[in-house]
Structure 1
Amino acid sequence: MKTVVIVGAGMGGLATAARLANAGYEVAVFEARPQVGGRIGELRRDGYRFDTGPTLLMMLEPLERLFADLNRRVEDYLDLALIDPSYRVYFGDGTVFDSTPNIARMTREIARKISPNEVPGYLRLMADLSAMYHAVVPAFVRRQYDSLADLFTPYQVGLLLRHRLLSNLWWRVGRYVRDPRLQMLFSFQTMYLGLSPKDALWVYGVLTYMESGEGVWYPRGGMHRLPEAVARIAREEGAQIYLNQRVQEVLIESGRAVGARLASGEVLKADYVVINADAPTAYRELLPPTPYATRNFRNSCSALMFYIGYTEPLPHQLHHNVYFSHDFEANLRELFQENRVPSDPSFYTCLSNRTDPADAPAGCENLYVLVPVPNLTGEDARAAAPRVLQTVIERVGLKRERMQFVEMLTPHEWQAMGLWQGAAFGIAHTFFQSTAFRPSVQTPFRNCYLVGASTQPGNGIPMTLISAELVAQRILGTWGRKA
């Protein structure tokens, strides 16, 4: 029986463990933290429950494929709820807009809140994004890359030209909808890939389609139920998962992975090693020196998080809410060009107790706040936190005396979780850090692989699950070259 050591129990590591255990491999997962899930964590305090990282799920297909490949049904492990409206948007000019994947309701909302003249452009945008999404995912995302030649096949070049994938997202969205509010609404999603929508490629409009076309989902009980469900399946398949066990280094002999050494000094021998850690951190701290260890990756921005126990109802808030800066373009410039905490930041709030009432005591709210801020190469978000929190209080309409507690997470804590430079969303999706240019799941060492958000195909839960597919296919020899 072939043996596999997996470093880290994030979604990528757990999904890889489940797939390989199902294939008959002896799998052991070692996680430094006391809970599985990586960034998909949770916080419980004084009767409140918060998701600490991702708060929604888009693009269900990779999750459904994982369960189907393992002969399971999603509904036997998770109760997924479609959140509709997807979120409520508060624009700087006072407009309040409810975004929904329901085309009929969305057209009415645009006509009523923005302008009837924008409806045809919205419909064309969704149609073109749908066509691009269904072409791009199989051709560029769910794909193994061994060289740049795998990126520029005649078919892929044809798609690049047909859909103009490398044109500018901000400019292209503006060709469909003229109102700047809609331009913001249909492009801001790239901020969570570490990119300004003004600098992003048109291909990342697929995020808008995932959100506005297919909708956003939430597992009842919280996002942490996702890694718990995959961990349960991995264990059912025979994988062993060890918590509070930090891997110190991956052992390489003659260019091949042969196991790992724990922080305790214990040596674990294995035929394969899979590293579910941020790629820059893995190359700098877990593996022998390679050019990747000194590569100057461009990182995403970070996130300043507030978890607020609030003792009064906030009836104007939905499950998901987005607050745009009064000057969105200044917000983007300060964050992505000047590398400082925006003076008037855009931010996101979540109240999961809208869907799971047990997440907060009766009459109270579990208010989650995410503010995009620079990573540790920029202005220190800790120093700016009181100012940012005051902005949140004023825009959401909070009363300080009703704030039972405020827990905070800064880029320093993200870095402590293993995210290089405290970049909460991993390495950024620039052109030269995407597709074949992004760190491969195959490391330079034989039988040693990477899985997760900073490897191919990219950031986010669906991409991480596809990354696990790619790693399993490499090890099992079911796609491309054998390991």
Structure 2
Amino acid sequence: MKKKVALIGSGFSSLAASAYLAKAGFEVTVFEKNTSIGGRASVFRKDGFMFDMGPTWYWMPDVFEKFFADFDRKPSDYYVLERLDPAYKVYFGKDEDLTISGYLDQILALFEKEEPGSAAHLERFLKMARKNYGIAVEKMVYLPGKSPLELVNGQTITRVNQFFGTIRTQVRKRIKNKKLVQLLEFPILFLGAKPDNTPGFYNFMNWADFGLGTWHPKGGMSEVISAMTALAVELGVNFKTGIAIDEIRIENGITTGLVAQGEFFDADIVLSGADYHHTEKLLPPEYRQYSEKYWDKRVLAPSSLLFYIGFDTKLPNVEHHTLFFDTDFDIHAQAIYDNPAWPEQPLFYGSFPSKTDTAFAPEGCEAATFLIPLAPDLEDTPKLRERYFHKIMDRFEDLTDFKARDHIIFKKSFCVNDFKSEYNSYKGNAYGLANILTQTAFLRPKIQSGKVSNLFFTGQLTVPGPGVPPSLISGKIASELIQKSSA
């Protein structure tokens, strides 16, 4: 008889785990509190406009390929993938912007133009980053984070200095141009940490950026969710939406299933892709692994204030992905990590997918998402949201020389309180735990509970870390641990 797995949540990590477990012969049921599948990768539709409410960047395409290959599939079996060129645009100030090509040879030429001699430095830096990427993807990120010995192999030993040095030190050692430095430090934002607090080994993110390129699934990231859902259903996974779990039932130190809306759902194994802290709150106190004090001391990746805006015209002087780095990054970072507060002059990001994909907006219109990284658990009020909307729009209009506010049809905001209510997110974080040295690999919350033998976790608060590709990997790791424990 098949063993039953009850899976909480339907984000990327949960969908990945459900597919692997179903393929391995388990009877898998996914419980999702919201009415749609995808977790944070949800979709907002209004008046012919469409917005990816969660992830908008498609990096590390090889990880997606590996996932589908495990089921004898390819991403192209489900969605059309396009390499963006330009990959993105960065504003550093009025009339100071750089457009980043989707191809490395042109990026090298841009560096050389901005700082003579820097192309050679970038090539050497990326050679190291590419090797680290290979080690990370082949040797490290698919490991379960059970022991520090997982990190010890012939290749990592020779790079031990990169674990104790920082990205910032590496980047600034040879390249001095401020704009180029910011370009090289920017990918670390995907790890939810500061460049001066992120191990140098993580320069593999620079290879993900310049080497592997920035991609776009036609129809948006929701197409990836749809693909993974279709695969899971094909493998026999059952989905139950609109069901919020109230309790993980424990008897004699073993979970017997889930309680939702007064109904009991029996299970031999429970796997949670929901927020780790929230999941432990569903357990009796004696079965929780981590105290409130423990969680409060974790360094969280940022939360965000987001605006989803429909414009009645096309917006000039922006690309599909556009970064606004016209203020001091270090000062903004201090407001996130060191002295949590609303930043006075925030950096922000704009996604304009209708620049390259007609699915996102009616003809002649533009769909735009603006994101401001914030410290988690800040005060979140309509007044603050509106104040920061005008802060960034003042700068956006100045930098792009266009009165965008005159063309707004509608706007919707999403912030700390929404992350808490919609996703049960601890302190309203958007990206999980920051990938700093003291929260790497075996130092992250464990995938397998140490107190309940048949309870497991997956997602961005556990191994390997924040981001969509790591979430796919987390689902695979969790499924492998479940299979091993059930053998």
- In the TM superposition, 1:253-402 aligns within 5 A as 253-262=251-260, 264-286=261-283, 288-289=285-286, 290-294=288-292, 295-296=294-295, 297-376=298-377, 378=378, 380=380, 382-397=382-397, 398-402=403-407
The amino acid of 2:432's aligned partner reads G
- Counterpart of 2:400 in structure 1 is none
CA displacement at 1:159 relative to structure 2:
4.0
- Counterpart of 2:157 in structure 1 is 158
Note closer, same or farther for the CA distance 1:193–1:73 as it changes in structure 2 (3 Å cut).
closer
C-alpha RMSD of matched pairs (Å): 1.9
- In the TM superposition, 1:224-235 aligns within 5 A as 224-235=222-233
**What CA distance in whole angstroms lies between the structure 2 residues aligned with 1:22 and 1:136?**
26
Among candidates 471, 476, 485, match of residue 469 of structure 1:
476
Between 172-181 and 379-388, the greater mean CA deviation after superposition: 379-388
Matched, 1:414 2:419: yes
- Counterpart of 1:404 in structure 2 is 409
- In the TM superposition, 1:60-209 aligns within 5 A as 60-92=61-93, 94-112=95-113, 114-151=114-151, 153=152, 155=154, 158-161=157-160, 164-209=162-207
**What CA distance in whole angstroms lies between the structure 1 residues aligned with 2:360 and 2:306?**
18
The amino acid of 1:344's aligned partner reads Q
CA displacement at 1:395 relative to structure 2:
2.5
**What CA distance in whole angstroms lies between the structure 2 residues aligned with 1:22 and 1:408?**
39
CA displacement at 1:111 relative to structure 2:
2.9
The amino acid of 1:131's aligned partner reads K
Q: Deviations over 1:254-309 (max 9, x none)?
A: 222221111x1111111111101121221233564424142232222210001111
**What CA distance in whole angstroms lies between the structure 2 residues aligned with 1:159 and 1:428?**
25
CA displacement at 1:194 relative to structure 2:
2.6
- Counterpart of 2:454 in structure 1 is 447
Q: Deviations over 1:44-80 (max 9, x none)?
A: 0111111101002111222212211112222111111
Matched, 1:57 2:62: no
Between 437-446 and 132-141, the greater mean CA deviation after superposition: 132-141
The amino acid of 1:403's aligned partner reads I
- Counterpart of 2:36 in structure 1 is 35
Question: TM-score, normalised on structure 1?
Answer: 0.94
The amino acid of 2:440's aligned partner reads S
Secondary structure at the counterpart of residue 165 of structure 1: helix
**What CA distance in whole angstroms lies between the structure 1 residues aligned with 2:319 and 2:212?**
19
Secondary structure at the counterpart of residue 38 of structure 1: coil
Among candidates 247, 250, 255, match of residue 249 of structure 1:
247
CA displacement at 1:396 relative to structure 2:
2.2
**What CA distance in whole angstroms lies between the structure 2 residues aligned with 1:189 and 1:72?**
29
| Matched-pair contact (CA < 8 Å) for 1:193–1:459 | yes
The amino acid of 2:458's aligned partner reads V
Between 100-109 and 286-295, the greater mean CA deviation after superposition: 286-295
**What CA distance in whole angstroms lies between the structure 2 residues aligned with 1:429 and 1:283?**
22
Between 195-204 and 21-30, the greater mean CA deviation after superposition: 195-204
| Matched-pair contact (CA < 8 Å) for 2:380–2:415 | no
Note closer, same or farther for the CA distance 1:355–1:314 as it changes in structure 2 (3 Å cut).
same
Secondary structure at the counterpart of residue 111 of structure 2: helix
**What CA distance in whole angstroms lies between the structure 2 residues aligned with 1:288 and 1:3?**
25
| Identical amino acids, percent of aligned pairs | 29
**What CA distance in whole angstroms lies between the structure 2 residues aligned with 1:27 and 1:334?**
42
| Matched-pair contact (CA < 8 Å) for 1:260–1:267 | yes
**What CA distance in whole angstroms lies between the structure 2 residues aligned with 1:330 and 1:63?**
35
CA displacement at 1:181 relative to structure 2:
1.2
CA displacement at 1:319 relative to structure 2:
0.6
CA displacement at 1:166 relative to structure 2:
2.2
CA displacement at 1:340 relative to structure 2:
1.5
CA displacement at 1:198 relative to structure 2:
2.3
Among candidates 438, 444, 451, match of residue 444 of structure 2:
438
| Matched-pair contact (CA < 8 Å) for 1:248–1:286 | no
| Matched-pair contact (CA < 8 Å) for 2:83–2:102 | no
Between 17-26 and 48-57, the greater mean CA deviation after superposition: 17-26
The amino acid of 2:77's aligned partner reads D
**What CA distance in whole angstroms lies between the structure 1 residues aligned with 2:307 and 2:270?**
36
**What CA distance in whole angstroms lies between the structure 1 residues aligned with 2:318 and 2:64?**
29
Note closer, same or farther for the CA distance 1:413–1:286 as it changes in structure 2 (3 Å cut).
farther
CA displacement at 1:144 relative to structure 2:
2.1
Structure 2: runs of 5+ lacking an equivalent: 398-402
Between 132-141 and 305-314, the greater mean CA deviation after superposition: 132-141
Secondary structure at the counterpart of residue 163 of structure 2: coil
The amino acid of 2:270's aligned partner reads V
**What CA distance in whole angstroms lies between the structure 2 residues aligned with 1:287 and 1:189?**
40
- Counterpart of 2:429 in structure 1 is 423
The amino acid of 2:266's aligned partner reads K
The amino acid of 2:393's aligned partner reads I
The number of residues matched between the two structures is 475
CA displacement at 1:25 relative to structure 2:
1.3
The amino acid of 1:144's aligned partner reads P
